[in-house]
Structure formats: C-alpha cells, structure tokens
Chain A
Amino acid sequence: MATTTGSTSANPKVNYKYRRNKARQEMRAHVTSFAMMIFLTLIAFIMVMSGFDKYYVFPVLLLLAGIQVVLQLYYFMHMSHKGHGAVALFLYSGALVALIVIITFMTIVWW
C-alpha cells in the first residue's frame, strides 16, 4: 500500500474503508497520467529528432502540449474534484477569449 490518506479527520463517522479506496483510485489515476505524460513527452522528442516535416511537427506538438495541460490541471491540480466549477468556468472563458484573439490576429493582422 503506497498511499494512506491518514486520519486527518477527528470525525469518528468517517468511513476509512471508503476513504482508503478513494485514495487508491486517485493514486492510480496519478500514476497513469504521469506515465502518459512521460510517454507524450517521449513522442514529442522522438518526433523532433527524427526530422519530420515542420508543418507536421508543429501542430502535433501543440496538440500534445494541450493534452499535457489538461492532464496536469485535472489529475495533479485537482480540477477533477468537486467544488471547482467556478474555477473551470473562468479558466475556459479566459481560454476562449484568448483563442478568439489569437485566431483574429493570425487571420487579419499577420496573415
């Protein structure tokens, strides 16, 4: 058993079995996403080193980076937990606004 959440709660009604189970699931998700992130990073390095065409490499790199950001946010910064609705809403609205600005700049200012 690699993880124990320990009994941080003074409440005697806390269900330890449930909490331990929950913690185990969480740990599994952590390890899985960590492995995936290493794997994605490896793909990125190999792709660059093996000298593919840059118009192929750039979009795939951006996509991999995007996936890593999502994994980071959800599995390591706890956005998958309850009570992060407002945070997620503002994060996504901000990302949307930024995206619109970037698209506009790429199409009507620089293109």
Chain B
Amino acid sequence: MSTVVQKKGFFPVLWDYLTTVDHKKIAILYLISGGFFFLVGGLEAMVIRIQLAVPDSNFVSAGLYNEILTMHGTTMIFLAAMPLLFAFMNAVVPLQIGARDVAFPFLNSLGFWLFFFGGIFLNLSWFLGGAPDAGWTSYASLSLASEGHGIDFYVLGLQISGAGTLIAGINFLVTIINMRAPGMTYMRMPLFTWSTFVASALILFAFPPLTVGLFLMLFDRMFGANFFDHTMGGNTIIWEHLFWIFGHPEVYILILPAFGIFSEIFATFSRKRLFGYSAMVFATVLIGFLGFMVWVHHMFTVGLGPTANAIFAVATMAIAVPTGVKIFNWMLTMWGGSIKFTTPMLYAVAFIPSFVAGGVTGVMLAVAAADYQYHDTYFVVAHFHYVIIGGVVLGLLAGTHFYWPKMFGTMLNETLGKVTFWLFLIGFHLTFFIQHFLGLMGMPRRIWKYLPNQGLEVGNAISTVGAFFMAAGVLVLIYNIIITQVRNERVGNDPWGDGRTLEWAIASPPPFYNFKQLPLVRGLDPYWIEKMEGNDRMTPAEPIGDIHMPNNSFIPFVMSLGLFIAAFGAMYQVDWRASDGAEYGWAIPVLVIGMLITIGSMAVRSLKDDHGYHVHKEDLEKDDEEGGRL
C-alpha cells in the first residue's frame, strides 16, 4: 500500500486529501489547519503583547486592537484548540478502541470541511472591511452596536464551524458506543477514549445553545429582529446566558481531552498502570456533568441576585473535587514508577503545578463576593490562560510529540523537543504569572493602553518578554517538525517502547484499514498485557476476511463550500436592503446559489447509493508478506 502512495504526484495527493474519509488523514487535515490557526492566533497575541509592552503605546490603533483581541480569543478557542484536539481524537481514538474507522466516515469528513470553511470565512473578515470587535464572548449590547460586518463574520463563521463540531462530536459518541473491539468493555477503555467520549457528550449538549444564540444574533443583525435589544422589548442578558450555557461546557470540552492525553502519558512513561482508573473515569464524567451547572459564574456581576450567585458559586467550587481526584491520581501514577523524562512526560509533569495554579485562582473567582473585585481585570486573564495554556496547550504540545510517530511514522527530535518545552514553559509563566498582580492592581481586561506612572509598566514589560519566549518555543517546534519530516527516518509500531494501549500495537502510520484482524482485548492496557506475556502482537479476535471500506467522496467539500458561499449572500443582503437595491443586488442570488449547492449535494448523497468497496483477503495476505504487520 505504501509503495502506491509514494509514487503519487502533488495533485493526486491533494485530491486524495480533499476527498478522504479516512480518520487518519482527516486527523492530519485537522492538525494542519488547527496548527495554521494556532499560528494566526499566536501572531495576534504577539501584537497584543507588543502594544501593551510600554505605557501609552501607539503600535496599533484602538479599533484595530479590539479586533485583534477578539480574533485572538475566537481563533484560539474555536479554530485552534478544538481542531487540534479533534486531530488527536481522530488519529488515536479509533485505534485505541480497536476499530477500523469512525462510525460515519463521510460525516467525519463533512465535519472537518465545515470547520475549515467556517474558520476561513471568519478570518476573511480581516480583508473585507474589518474583523469582529466585541470580544470572543460578543455580548449583545456591544455586538449589536458594532458597525461594519465584523460581527456578521463572527456569527456566520461560528455557525458553520459549530455545525462541523457538533457533527464530529456525535460521530465520536456513536463510534465509542458501537465500534469497540471484542473484549473492549467501557471500563477497559483508555482514559483518552473516555475523555473523548465525555467531551463529545458535552459537545452534543453545549453546541445547540450556541447555535440558538447565534441564530438569534443573526436575525437581530441581518434580518431586523430584536431578541437582544431592550428598547424593543428584547433582553440582552439572554445572549449572555445562552453564550455561557455553551461557553462553560466548552472549556471542559477543551480540557477533558487534554486530561486524557496526560493520563496516557503518565501511565506510559511511569511504566505503571494508571492509578485509580475507575476513580479517573468517575471524575471525568462528574466534571462533564457539573460543567452544565456553573455557567452563571461568568455573570456574577450582572446583578442576578445573591441567591443565584450563591448557588452557582457552590456548584463551581464543587468542580474542584473531581479535578483534585485527578491531580492526586496522576501523582500517584508517577509514585513508585520507573519514570522516563521524555518530552511528552516533561509537559505532563509541568502541567500539574501550572494547572493547579489556574484551578486555585478559579476557586478564588468562584467566591461571588470577591469576584466583584476580580471581574474584568487581568486577574481573570491570568486565570484562564493558566488553565487553557497550562492545561490545554501543554496537553496539545505533549500530544504532538507523543502521537507524532503514530500519525506520521517519524519521531520528533527529543533534544529540540526539550528546548521547545523549556522555552515555552518559562515563557508561559513569565507572561501570565505577573498578570495576576497586574489585575489585582486594577489593570482592566481588554484595555488598549495604560498611562505611565501607575505601577503597571514593569509587570507589562515582563509579560511581553515572556510572550517572546513562547513564540521562540513554537518556532523551534516548527523547525523540529520540518527537519524530522525531511530526514524521514521511519519508526516501528511502538517507538516509545512503553506503549500500553492498542494504537501502539499496529504499524506507524497504520495501514488504511487499521486492523487486519480485530484484536482481542483482555483487559485495561491490552498491548501491555500481551507484552508482559511475551507476545509481540495482539491476539486476533477473528480470522482474516474481506474488509468493507467506504469510498472517498468530494461531496463533503462541496456541501461545506455551498454554505461558505451562502454566508456571503446572507451578510451582504443587509447592504443591499440598506441601499434600496441600488448596490449589492448580487447578494440574494449568491445566498440562493450557495444554499442550492449545499442542498443539491445533500440530495446527491441521499439519492446515489455508495456501498463502498472490499479489501480482499488475498490482498491482505499479500500485504503481510511485504512486511506489513498487524
């Protein structure tokens, strides 16, 4: 199989990726586009820090600064962190549960392309009259008053990419419920699969409120409705509720898979079974459940009254309990283990104190009365960067090093990896630790500039220096990726030597059908069990037989492209109506054409049967003789 791929030119490869329904290739697409948006968001962060490096700075104008901070938050959450997590979920979860693909390969591809076109649409706002400028939360009282099309780009872009995320979440739920290999019971699933499962359930319940909120916003801004306009009988607070009913579970959607990655890394490099596996599963589910009970803690200062504030304050503090269970279990996993400090393990070890610091400030913020002091200051900025960078981004970087060999069949350079780690970790603490104190000194969040002689200069200067350290770390990582792929030294199925779960039992990267024979799972950490019994491969659970595979399809791309085109029409019909039909007459036709493309491709998909194809037994056996392994 690999010999066929190597002979392909650039365009056949491109076509292969545009039409692929293979979870491993979709993972690579998610990794590349998520990585691209991560760099874009990082660039925006650098502009923010340069602007704030010295007092009374004029590096960027106030309006542009608002756009940059909005796009930094929106890009990092929706277009960088989530797709990068989806990259690892796609690459690893089907392998971990011993499946040949996700339950709906076509939908997997559709989910990716919707996210991709939504993200591109959102970022095109930079070139088409200005980006959104009401913060990533886009509170209605601000965003309804925002001029130009920035907020329209936000609403339509997130609506499209949100649909993709919802599709991906449902796909993982169905996959994990239905496609586990023989013997893979729920309580034998690796922690990364468990956390993907819970995060997908959170996506299922959290994204519909966002969709509703965005629709109401869309009608308010583009079709003359007044859901959030209090002068017309609407209520601006409803947006805040809808946003945070989505927004709080969203941050758990981000952190839970990162917890899962760390759980795998701790067990692998401590060369010990994960301590308290069942407690870890229970804590993951509990965090997911409590995630829906706490959204009002983002709105303590709205004036909802002491009763509401007290209830949500207590619920918020309760989350510290399952999180604490996890922290102690990770530490007890390391205790007595034979620890190897590889790059992923360094990230995992550094994650514990970094994340705990963010958790502790989280409990401080949960004290509703005290929150009136912290609210909208740099203390909050420091808090959520500690949990998101200290938790999610460290998890993503750890996962990149840990799963790189499984995804690409090459090993990232360990020395460069450690350089990245130290630059990034030092830079991270340098940037954000001091921001706690800037916040307590009264520096407001989202501020464009501050005056000299208010005691804010030194802290901000230190913070900016830290940001450059982080940027340097990321540059080293990019260099590392490039030289690794250029050298192209292939590795075997278990390059870390201590793999415990099923994904390390098959070749890196795995053949397109994953498992020639579905493996028999005999307990938690199935590959480790086989290794301990002296087997070099999994016991198969079935004889070699024909494998049913889905056909590649270009339809998901076209379907998403249609919505992308329709979004332009929906947006510019506002100008068409404002100009009494003089200009922008093309807007409504574009809207209709875009929708026709989408609905037409859905019709093609529904009416034309696509039964896929079979990989025949004889070909599988031949593949084996050419050096392929189970």
- Chain A residues engaging chain B, CB cutoff 8 angstroms: 86, 90, 93-94, 97, 100-101, 104-105, 107-109
Residues of chain A with a CB closer than 8 A to B238's CB:
105, 109
Report the minimal beta-carbon distance from A3 to chain B, rounded to whole angstroms: 30
Residues of chain B with a CB closer than 8 A to A107's CB:
308
Does B112 lie at the interface of the complex (its beta carbon under 8 Å from any beta carbon of A)? no
User: Which residues from 153 to 193 on chain B have a C-beta closer than 8 Å to any C-beta of chain A?
Assistant: 173, 177
Q: How many A-B residue pairs have CB under 8 A?
A: 30
> When each residue 219-237 of chain B gets 1 if its CB lies under 8 Å from chain A and 0 otherwise, what string results?
0000000000000000101
Residues of chain B with a CB closer than 8 A to A94's CB:
204-205
Report the minimal beta-carbon distance from A98 to chain B, rounded to whole angstroms: 9
Is the CB–CB distance between B304 and A108 below 8 Å?
Answer: yes
A94 to B305, CA, bound (A): 27
On whether A90 and B201 interact (CB within 8 A), knowing A107-B308, A108-B305, the answer reads yes
Does B281 lie at the interface of the complex (its beta carbon under 8 Å from any beta carbon of A)? no
Is the CB–CB distance between A97 and B292 below 8 Å?
Answer: yes
Pick from A86, A97, A109: contact of B237, CB under 8 Å: A109
Report the minimal beta-carbon distance from A109 to chain B, rounded to whole angstroms: 6
In the assembled complex, 12 residue pairs joining A and B whose CB atoms fall closer than 8 Å, in A order, are: A90-B204, A93-B205, A93-B289, A94-B205, A97-B205, A100-B292, A100-B293, A101-B245, A104-B308, A105-B238, A109-B238, A109-B241
Does B442 lie at the interface of the complex (its beta carbon under 8 Å from any beta carbon of A)? no
Residues of chain A with a CB closer than 8 A to B241's CB:
101, 104-105, 109
Judged by DSSP, the binding face of A is: helix
Query: Which residue of A97, A100, A104 has the most chain B CB atoms within 10 A of its CB atom?
Result: A97
User: Which residues from 197 to 225 on chain B have a C-beta closer than 8 Å to any C-beta of chain A?
Assistant: 201, 204-205, 209
Residues of chain B with a CB closer than 8 A to A109's CB:
235, 237-238, 241
A86 to B103, CA, bound (A): 16
Residue of A nearest to B309 (CB): A108
A37 to B173, CA, bound (A): 34
Residue of A nearest to B238 (CB): A109
Residues of chain A with a CB closer than 8 A to B304's CB:
108
Does B590 lie at the interface of the complex (its beta carbon under 8 Å from any beta carbon of A)? no
Does B296 lie at the interface of the complex (its beta carbon under 8 Å from any beta carbon of A)? yes
Report the minimal beta-carbon distance from B243 to chain A, rounded to whole angstroms: 13
Is the CB–CB distance between A86 and B308 below 8 Å?
Answer: no
Residues of chain A with a CB closer than 8 A to B308's CB:
104, 107-108
Residue of B nearest to A87 (CB): B177
Residues of chain B with a CB closer than 8 A to A108's CB:
296, 304-305, 308
Additional pairs, 9, CB under 8 Å, beyond known A86-B177, A90-B204, A97-B292: A93-B201, A94-B204, A94-B205, A100-B293, A101-B241, A101-B245, A104-B241, A105-B238, A105-B241
Contact size range, B: 10 to 19
Residue of B nearest to A89 (CB): B201
A90 to B305, CA, bound (A): 32
Residue of A nearest to B299 (CB): A108
Residues of chain B with a CB closer than 8 A to A100's CB:
292-293
Residues of chain A with a CB closer than 8 A to B209's CB:
101
A108 to B245, CA, bound (A): 14
Residue of B nearest to A107 (CB): B308
On whether A104 and B204 interact (CB within 8 A), knowing A109-B235, A109-B241, the answer reads no
User: Which residues from 441 to 473 on chain B have a C-beta closer than 8 Å to any C-beta of chain A?
Assistant: none
A99 to B542, CA, bound (A): 45
Residues of chain A with a CB closer than 8 A to B305's CB:
108
Pick from A86, A97, A104: contact of B296, CB under 8 Å: A104
A100 to B294, CA, bound (A): 11
A105 to B289, CA, bound (A): 19
Residues of chain A with a CB closer than 8 A to B293's CB:
100
User: Which residues from 1 to 51 on chain B have a C-beta closer than 8 Å to any C-beta of chain A?
Assistant: none
Report the minimal beta-carbon distance from B260 to chain A, rounded to whole angstroms: 20
Residues of chain A with a CB closer than 8 A to B292's CB:
97, 100
Residues of chain B with a CB closer than 8 A to A86's CB:
177
Residue of A nearest to B177 (CB): A86
Report the minimal beta-carbon distance from B40 to chain A, rounded to whole angstroms: 33
Report the minimal beta-carbon distance from A96 to chain B, rounded to whole angstroms: 8
A101 to B560, CA, bound (A): 31
> When each residue 550-588 of chain B gets 1 if its CB lies under 8 Å from chain A and 0 otherwise, what string results?
000000000000000000000000000000000000000
Residue of B nearest to A94 (CB): B205
Residue of B nearest to A101 (CB): B245
A5 to B113, CA, bound (A): 45
A104 to B205, CA, bound (A): 16
A90 to B288, CA, bound (A): 13
Report the minimal beta-carbon distance from A58 to chain B, rounded to whole angstroms: 23
Pairs A-B, 6 closest by C-beta atoms: A108-B304, A108-B308, A97-B205, A97-B292, A86-B177, A94-B205
A94 to B173, CA, bound (A): 14
A94 to B249, CA, bound (A): 13
A100 to B242, CA, bound (A): 13
A12 to B245, CA, bound (A): 55
Report the minimal beta-carbon distance from B249 to chain A, rounded to whole angstroms: 9
Report the minimal beta-carbon distance from B331 to chain A, rounded to whole angstroms: 31
A86 to B319, CA, bound (A): 25
A101 to B296, CA, bound (A): 11
A90 to B177, CA, bound (A): 12
A108 to B304, CA, bound (A): 6
A104 to B293, CA, bound (A): 10
Residues of chain B with a CB closer than 8 A to A93's CB:
201, 205, 289
Residue of B nearest to A98 (CB): B205
Query: Which residue of A90, A104, A108 has the most chain B CB atoms within 10 A of its CB atom?
Result: A108
